[in-house]
Amino acid sequence: MRKNNLRSLWQESQTAVNCWLTINSSVAAEALAQLDWSSATIDLQHGLIDWDAAFPMLQAISSTEVVPMIRVPWNNPAWIMRAFDAGAYGVICPMINTRADCEAFVGACRYAPQGYRSWGPVRGLIYGGSDYFKHANDELLAIAMIESAQALENLDEIMSTDGLDAIYIGPNDLAISLGLEPQYAPKDRKLADAIDTILAAAKRHGIVPGIHCGSADMAREMTAKGFQLVTLMNDARLLVDAAATAITTARKT
Amino acid sequence: MRKNNLRSLWQESQTAVNCWLTINSSVAAEALAQLDWSSATIDLQHGLIDWDAAFPMLQAISSTEVVPMIRVPWNNPAWIMRAFDAGAYGVICPMINTRADCEAFVGACRYAPQGYRSWGPVRGLIYGGSDYFKHANDELLAIAMIESAQALENLDEIMSTDGLDAIYIGPNDLAISLGLEPQYAPKDRKLADAIDTILAAAKRHGIVPGIHCGSADMAREMTAKGFQLVTLMNDARLLVDAAATAITTARKT
Amino acid sequence: MRKNNLRSLWQESQTAVNCWLTINSSVAAEALAQLDWSSATIDLQHGLIDWDAAFPMLQAISSTEVVPMIRVPWNNPAWIMRAFDAGAYGVICPMINTRADCEAFVGACRYAPQGYRSWGPVRGLIYGGSDYFKHANDELLAIAMIESAQALENLDEIMSTDGLDAIYIGPNDLAISLGLEPQYAPKDRKLADAIDTILAAAKRHGIVPGIHCGSADMAREMTAKGFQLVTLMNDARLLVDAAATAITTARKT
Amino acid sequence: MRKNNLRSLWQESQTAVNCWLTINSSVAAEALAQLDWSSATIDLQHGLIDWDAAFPMLQAISSTEVVPMIRVPWNNPAWIMRAFDAGAYGVICPMINTRADCEAFVGACRYAPQGYRSWGPVRGLIYGGSDYFKHANDELLAIAMIESAQALENLDEIMSTDGLDAIYIGPNDLAISLGLEPQYAPKDRKLADAIDTILAAAKRHGIVPGIHCGSADMAREMTAKGFQLVTLMNDARLLVDAAATAITTARKT
Amino acid sequence: MRKNNLRSLWQESQTAVNCWLTINSSVAAEALAQLDWSSATIDLQHGLIDWDAAFPMLQAISSTEVVPMIRVPWNNPAWIMRAFDAGAYGVICPMINTRADCEAFVGACRYAPQGYRSWGPVRGLIYGGSDYFKHANDELLAIAMIESAQALENLDEIMSTDGLDAIYIGPNDLAISLGLEPQYAPKDRKLADAIDTILAAAKRHGIVPGIHCGSADMAREMTAKGFQLVTLMNDARLLVDAAATAITTARKT
Amino acid sequence: MRKNNLRSLWQESQTAVNCWLTINSSVAAEALAQLDWSSATIDLQHGLIDWDAAFPMLQAISSTEVVPMIRVPWNNPAWIMRAFDAGAYGVICPMINTRADCEAFVGACRYAPQGYRSWGPVRGLIYGGSDYFKHANDELLAIAMIESAQALENLDEIMSTDGLDAIYIGPNDLAISLGLEPQYAPKDRKLADAIDTILAAAKRHGIVPGIHCGSADMAREMTAKGFQLVTLMNDARLLVDAAATAITTARKT
């Protein structure tokens, strides 16, 4: 089975730089996947993408070494299993707030006896290889989003879930849940502290800490702090910001 | 009928800054159309977009003041008329090399007696308004690409075509046609001279000069030279360049 | 943030006339949205539309003043949140039968502390504006369908749910649940009484009463009764009925 | 091979009532195809439909007895042949202005020796049957649009083209070409006369006369005049008009 | 209402041969539906197909006598109801492990009082007919997948659920759940015994036994054993195997 | 620039085995592209595929070593150039009947001075590499279909066209043009002779001879004869034939 490059990176204590796809286009996905990303995540939660658009995006990414991942819209076995069947090598699941949430999530990522994933990796076999069944439980990544005050209270119960590979902080939702405005790079101390607490817990439990970042600078800072999965905003924001700058330049007289 | 903002700009001797869409996504098109562009052109020639994808892109642009245009794949009445019927307010046509090319093109843009456009502006009536027939010949733009050595020899014949609104230089094709490598900002004197020649001809004939630019800086320079329709590269290039820069920043240690 | 026209209408005690979209086409949606509707609802439950088709439909509606809404297929946070993220200004949720159903539904419509909606309004920011977070909980509509015998028994518990804006009667399902045939304009007294009971409860709780209507005449009658959100059947029925009449006329000799 | 119902109708001197599809949805097409149409034409010229959307529309129509036809965007063998290969049983071709136009059109509709159609009726074999080659030249319809002043002058040359089955008047384009405003039911005598002239020529040449009608009433009148292929406006107009009427009724107080 | 051919077959103690669709194309679905299948199931669980692609596939199948079915991604009323609303005549639901699972599933398939299905069979009325409500509970099939060790322990509870029409064995998942490798034709005795046990239980409860088969040979053997719903692998596997054989033949020198 | 594997094969006097795609699905295309094909051609002429469906199919093929090609619907520069811009490494053009046809075709495949291809290989740069301009004229294949009696008379004029890489016989169209029934493996002597004549001409002119084959056996025979590009029917036929066989086996009692 094709190796999961993210696991290799993490075994060497490196940090994965993750692309975040919200534009429903395999053309954009393929163009971005030519770059030096470690992975690319198709966002089915907040992105304007559903499955019929996501399938060709996964195919477009597959001609590169970038690891394809999917953020599912919610903690539901149908979506989690479909993501893996379609060839994703990692699933990021929102709103894991309790141990029970996390067990349901991780169970959906693994074949028995570790979990209850249903067999039928139609595209997984193409992307991963014919020995998929033998290695899937070991290669594919289960990544739980920690993004609520409730999750903060359950960090150890969540992170000690057997088979969980990584956690992924959603700073915006965490901020809102803490009574703050949505924000990426923490402006409020309360959010900064929460992020540190989660990072420390991940380190303590030996699982990979990840975080959604609002900028490349934030990603670099978070890497310096010890995060090993950092996302550089999303495709639409990168595009719009670059275009806005170009327009301003062009209009300067 | 809705006024064509490009005509207003040009009447005030201003320059239109044009967005160039090659990504087949109404999501990306809508996000970009929020910005301060004068117009946005869906590229059906070299872009990875065909009509079924272009229709929702036109709709997405229509909620803004940005003027929707289409570059058709070739000088063919079917494509030119379909672009206008779908609500485009301008058509850019590649490879207008002779007077006959130009007359065929402009004729396809106009209802009789000025041309031979067929009636049926299904979405034109929605976007433009119910008095579309009365004003369409006056509002919609016919923009001919000048991008070959042959066209260079026929500048006066082409530009004196009745009803032609603007010309649009494709520097890459013009360079190739002149025996050079494809290039945006002219590195070769031969290309620079050709651009100047075309610009002068457009001014002489009182039609709007436009040019495809490889960067915002080039767009500013071309505006300074007197071009009144300048395109800032394309969406995919903006996205990929911005992402590449962000990755480099994020990976810096 | 863009104001929600439905709220304004209701504050002036007017009735909103709602369009119901079941045809999976942004072309049809845009054509219909030119008319004098107060709102238009994309039906993801019974309509032949899923998200990849719904996104451009939302975009097409957005060039008008018609308020975009979505009926989700079921009471599930993934679908509810995705509707709002895609720019819907109201969500109609089927089969709200208990207080717990209603709390789960309304919670998914609101950011903390009022609810548990996840942040990421990718298109909401475009359609609503950059101050979306500040006003979203106040502008966006949570509309619960009352359409079962069980819901009839729980009217007060359901309608007193904090943050619920309106209820919406599904006469067909309500009829079936009461042991009757599906029907719009109530033929059976039992259904008529149930509708009156629900209307009275909504008035008592100060929330907006809405109802799915099988005809324009029924909509007018329901408006006269006090309903403030009335739907005129659906697009497919309007189209088919109009076509059937035209064929009959044309074939008359 | 499946018989072409239009031919049967015409052999019995009856008039075919034709549906006109401009909405890019197989859902709408299937709903309409349940009605008592003789045929349904997908409009690839002015409709907001291209091939990738048209294929499922043809499939949706195929479960009924309604004869599937396509109006191609222009007189081009690629489009004409593709329409038949996809299972259309008739092609309506715009802007047939000369004998040469008509011969090129009809030739593209027929296999050698009658024409130069290329073999590969991928869906034609499914819809038509395995003996498609033997009967296609006899069953499939070539219908030329007469819609310009130039065509008016060439009526006999055009209509005597071997293999031409029917002509189809586009009143709007004919009106414009005659210096009038676009119009369906002729308001101007000049248009009315032209229609009569064309009708007479078709009768004289023994080919079926058809016409695009703006209303069911016009269709009935044209049938009375002797037209045998009448179209009742288009789907979008039927839908929008019906909805507008319903809204007015609903808003009446 | 159109009769369900599967019910007729089963009443005559015949076996239904079922096609399994995982390719997201109405073109492939229509081509396959011309063959002598009893039914065709669109696989929304493991197939690379979501609703927007599934709708035209259902339409394409509908021009034939092949019974359209859908395997939903999970036991969720939204998906089950949507399948029937779109015209499916049977739903196969994965992972029915308990009596509660089965009751929830069957309830979603039936209108009250037998279940809680919501009214709105938009395409069901087109495919089934206008008396759909009267007969739907009797014609449409609820088929529960038995594919886990847990289900094996609950066979009688599951199979005695009122309204359940058939069970369908997923050998791969059943094998994994029993600690074996995924496999179709049982290589392990443990799986073979489990299949026999399930078959016997279905016979005992008078419901139709079905099974997913990895080959035509296995399907024939399972038919001989008494299974009455047998699936011949899937479209992609048939295609790939046939192509691989053809390539080998062609390359032979 | 990525090398064109077909050229390498041919330089070693080997025969390329070509896949023929008519199913509009990137899922099917990707599954097939895993096999031992030399190339895969998306058929935009007779296949039920247009550009919006073809783009993701090209992407799906690109993760393998199989060379992507497109058969364009007709000899038109817009389609030919778009195929290459989208990353095709070869274009097969139907109905090349004269030297002028062939020169127009080949010219559209080459940048100046060899031809008049327009610059803008948006996906060509991704698939081919950044030095695309330097090598495109040498790597990309121009393949002319010889399939008419007229072409038979012009073989030397056609085949001596500078830059033509290969010819490709369409036996069905050639047969029809010769007054025969469509047929693959020549049943009629007249067709067999014509094929031999074309093959000999190709050899004489030093260009690669190719042929569309109706079966793997025919492909093997044609390879033995000296053809170096052989196509194994199409995907739909392979699928349908395999399914028909499986059904027969399964139904055997």
For the stretch F98-126, pLDDT in tens is 999 999 999 999 999 999 999 999 999 99
Cα nearest neighbour of D55 on chain E: E27
Cα nearest neighbour of C51 on chain A: A50
For B112, residues 6+ apart whose C-beta sits below 8 A from its C-beta are D176, D177, D179
pLDDT band at F233 (very low <50, low <70, confident <90, very high): confident
Cα F92 to Cα F90: distance, rounded to the nearest angstrom? 7
Q: Is the dihedral of CA C232, C236, C239, C243 positive or negative?
A: negative
For D196, residues 6+ apart whose C-beta sits below 8 A from its C-beta are none
- Residue C90 identity (one-letter amino acid): G
- Residue A166 identity (one-letter amino acid): A
The pLDDT > 90 percentage for chain D reads: 97
How many residues would you count in chain D? 253
The burial class, CB within 10 Å (0-12 / 13-18 / 19+), for C189 is: exposed
Catalytic pick from D46, D135, D205, D212? D46
- Taking the Cβ of residue F123 and every Cβ of chain A, the question of whether any pair is shorter than 8 Å is answered with yes
- Taking the Cβ of residue F121 and every Cβ of chain B, the question of whether any pair is shorter than 8 Å is answered with yes
Which chains neighbour D (Cβ–Cβ under 8 Å, 3 or more pairs)?
B, C, E, F
**At D232, which CATH number?**
3.20.20.60
Q: Do D119 and F182 count as a contact with CB atoms less than 8 A apart?
A: yes
For B26, residues 6+ apart whose C-beta sits below 8 A from its C-beta are B53, B56, B57, B59, B60, C55, C56, C59
Owner of token pair 């990976």: B251
pLDDT tens for residues B34-87?
Answer: 999 999 999 999 999 999 999 999 999 999 999 999 999 999 999 999 999 999
- Residue D160 identity (one-letter amino acid): S
For B93, residues 6+ apart whose C-beta sits below 8 A from its C-beta are B71, B72, B74, B75, B80, B105, B142, B143, B144, B145
List the one residue out of C157, C164, C149, C156 whose CA is nearest residue C210. Answer: C164
**Average confidence (pLDDT) over E186-194:** 95
DSSP E23: S
Owner of token pair 């040009």: B10
Residue A82 three-state SS: helix
SS3 content of chain C, % helix, strand, coil (to 5): 45, 15, 35
F24 to chain E, minimum CA–CA distance in Å?
6
Please, do chains E and A touch (3+ CB pairs < 8 Å)?
yes
- Is the pLDDT at E253 greater than 80? The verdict is no
Q: Do F235 and E239 count as a contact with CB atoms less than 8 A apart?
A: yes
Contact (Cβ atoms closer than 8 angstroms) between residue D193 and residue D131: no
Q: Do C35 and D253 count as a contact with CB atoms less than 8 A apart?
A: no
Please, do chains B and D touch (3+ CB pairs < 8 Å)?
yes
pLDDT at E77: 98
- Taking the Cβ of residue D77 and every Cβ of chain F, the question of whether any pair is shorter than 8 Å is answered with yes
Which of B61-98 are b and which e, b meaning 16 or more Cβ less than 10 Å from the residue's Cβ? Answer: bbbbebbbbbbbbbbbbbbbbbbbbbbbbbbbbbbbbb
Q: Which residues face D142 on adjacent strands?
A: D91
pLDDT band at E185 (very low <50, low <70, confident <90, very high): confident
List the one residue out of E65, D45, E182 whose CA is nearest residue B81. Answer: D45
- Is the pLDDT at D173 greater than 80? The verdict is yes
Residues of E in contact with C53 (CB under 8 A): 52
F146 to chain D, minimum CA–CA distance in Å?
12
pLDDT at B186: 87
Q: Does D205 participate in catalysis according to the annotation?
A: no
- In this structure, how many other beta carbons lie within 10 angstroms of the beta carbon of residue E101? 20
- Taking the Cβ of residue B113 and every Cβ of chain F, the question of whether any pair is shorter than 8 Å is answered with no
Please, do chains F and A touch (3+ CB pairs < 8 Å)?
yes
- Taking the Cβ of residue D171 and every Cβ of chain B, the question of whether any pair is shorter than 8 Å is answered with no
- Taking the Cβ of residue C97 and every Cβ of chain E, the question of whether any pair is shorter than 8 Å is answered with no
> What are the distances in angstroms from CA C142 to CA A21, A127, C167?
29, 42, 8
Q: Which of C41, C66, C237, C238 to probe the D interface (max D CBs under 10 A)?
A: C238
Query: In chain A, where does DSSP find H-type helix?
Result: 5-11, 26-33, 51-61, 77-85, 99-109, 124-128, 132-139, 149-153, 155-159, 171-177, 189-205, 216-225, 235-251
- Taking the Cβ of residue E74 and every Cβ of chain C, the question of whether any pair is shorter than 8 Å is answered with no
The burial class, CB within 10 Å (0-12 / 13-18 / 19+), for C2 is: middle
Q: Name the residue facing C122 among A95, A148, A236 (closest C-beta).
A: A236
For E12, residues 6+ apart whose C-beta sits below 8 A from its C-beta are none
Cα nearest neighbour of F116 on chain B: B177
- Is the pLDDT at D253 greater than 90? The verdict is no
* Two structure tokens written together for F89: 């490494």
Residues of A in contact with C120 (CB under 8 A): 43, 45-46, 172
Size of interface B-F (CB pairs under 8 A): 63
List the one residue out of D21, D158, D32 whose CA is nearest residue D88. Answer: D21
Owner of token pair 């009967």: D135
Cα F120 to Cα B173: distance, rounded to the nearest angstrom? 9
Distance of CA A48 to the CA centre of its chain: 17
* Two structure tokens written together for F228: 């170096």
The pLDDT > 70 percentage for chain B reads: 100
List the one residue out of D207, D185, D232 whose CA is nearest residue D39. Answer: D232
For A66, residues 6+ apart whose C-beta sits below 8 A from its C-beta are A19, A33, A37, A38, A39, A40
- Taking the Cβ of residue B124 and every Cβ of chain F, the question of whether any pair is shorter than 8 Å is answered with no
Residues of C in contact with E111 (CB under 8 A): 176
pLDDT tens for residues C191-207?
Answer: 999 999 999 999 999 99
Q: What ipTM was assigned to the predicted interfaces of this complex?
A: 0.96
Cα D193 to Cα D200: distance, rounded to the nearest angstrom? 11
pLDDT tens for residues E78-102?
Answer: 999 999 999 999 999 999 999 999 9
pLDDT at D184: 83
pLDDT tens for residues E114-142?
Answer: 999 999 999 999 999 999 999 999 999 99
Q: Do F50 and B50 count as a contact with CB atoms less than 8 A apart?
A: yes
List the one residue out of F49, B22, F71 whose CA is nearest residue A27. Answer: B22
Owner of token pair 């909606």: C117
- Taking the Cβ of residue F130 and every Cβ of chain B, the question of whether any pair is shorter than 8 Å is answered with no
Contact (Cβ atoms closer than 8 angstroms) between residue C217 and residue C172: no
- Residue F173 identity (one-letter amino acid): D
User: What's the alpha-carbon Rg for chain A, to the nearest Å?
Assistant: 18
Q: Look at strands D67-71 and D166-169 and give their pairing.
A: unpaired
Contact (Cβ atoms closer than 8 angstroms) between residue C96 and residue C145: yes
Cα E183 to Cα E172: distance, rounded to the nearest angstrom? 5
pLDDT at A147: 98
Please, do chains C and F touch (3+ CB pairs < 8 Å)?
no
E169 phi and psi, to 5 degrees? -85, 130
Domain residues for the domain of A24 are 5-251
What DSSP element (H or E) covers E81?
A: helix E77-85
F116 to chain B, minimum CA–CA distance in Å?
8
- Taking the Cβ of residue F119 and every Cβ of chain B, the question of whether any pair is shorter than 8 Å is answered with yes
B224 phi and psi, to 5 degrees? -60, -35
Contact (Cβ atoms closer than 8 angstroms) between residue D10 and residue D4: no
Contact (Cβ atoms closer than 8 angstroms) between residue B59 and residue C63: yes
Q: Name the residue facing D48 among B76, B123, B133 (closest C-beta).
A: B123
B243 to chain A, minimum CA–CA distance in Å?
7
**Average confidence (pLDDT) over D61-70:** 97
Q: Domains in chain F: how many in total?
A: 1
Q: Which of B74, B82, B118, B133 to probe the D interface (max D CBs under 10 A)?
A: B118
pLDDT band at C43 (very low <50, low <70, confident <90, very high): very high
- Is the pLDDT at A253 greater than 80? The verdict is no
- Is the pLDDT at A204 greater than 90? The verdict is yes
Give the CA-trace dihedral at A32, A36, A38, A44, to 10 degrees: -10
pLDDT at B184: 83
Q: Do E223 and F32 count as a contact with CB atoms less than 8 A apart?
A: no
Distance of CA B225 to the CA centre of its chain: 18
- Is the pLDDT at A22 greater than 90? The verdict is yes
> What are the distances in angstroms from CA C38 to CA B198, C41, C213, F244?
52, 10, 15, 54
Q: At what angle do helices F216-225 and E235-251 cross, to 10 degrees?
A: 30
List the one residue out of A64, A53, A47, A55 whose CA is nearest residue A88. Answer: A55
pLDDT tens for residues F171-216?
Answer: 999 999 999 999 988 889 999 999 999 999 999 999 999 999 999 9
**Average confidence (pLDDT) over F32-53:** 98
List the one residue out of E172, E183, E159, A35 whose CA is nearest residue B248. Answer: A35
∠ Cα A163 A164 A165 (to 5°): 110
pLDDT at D186: 87
Q: Do B170 and F119 count as a contact with CB atoms less than 8 A apart?
A: yes
Which chains neighbour E (Cβ–Cβ under 8 Å, 3 or more pairs)?
A, C, D, F
- Is the pLDDT at A185 greater than 90? The verdict is no
Cα B222 to Cα B171: distance, rounded to the nearest angstrom? 12
Residue B129 three-state SS: coil
- Taking the Cβ of residue C249 and every Cβ of chain D, the question of whether any pair is shorter than 8 Å is answered with yes
**Where does chain D show beta strands of DSSP type E?**
16-21, 39-43, 67-71, 90-93, 141-146, 166-169, 208-213, 229-232
- Taking the Cβ of residue A221 and every Cβ of chain E, the question of whether any pair is shorter than 8 Å is answered with no
Contact (Cβ atoms closer than 8 angstroms) between residue C147 and residue C177: yes
∠ Cα C239 C240 C246 (to 5°): 90
Q: What is the pTM of this model?
A: 0.98
Q: Do F52 and B47 count as a contact with CB atoms less than 8 A apart?
A: no
pLDDT tens for residues E224-251?
Answer: 999 999 999 899 999 999 999 999 999 9
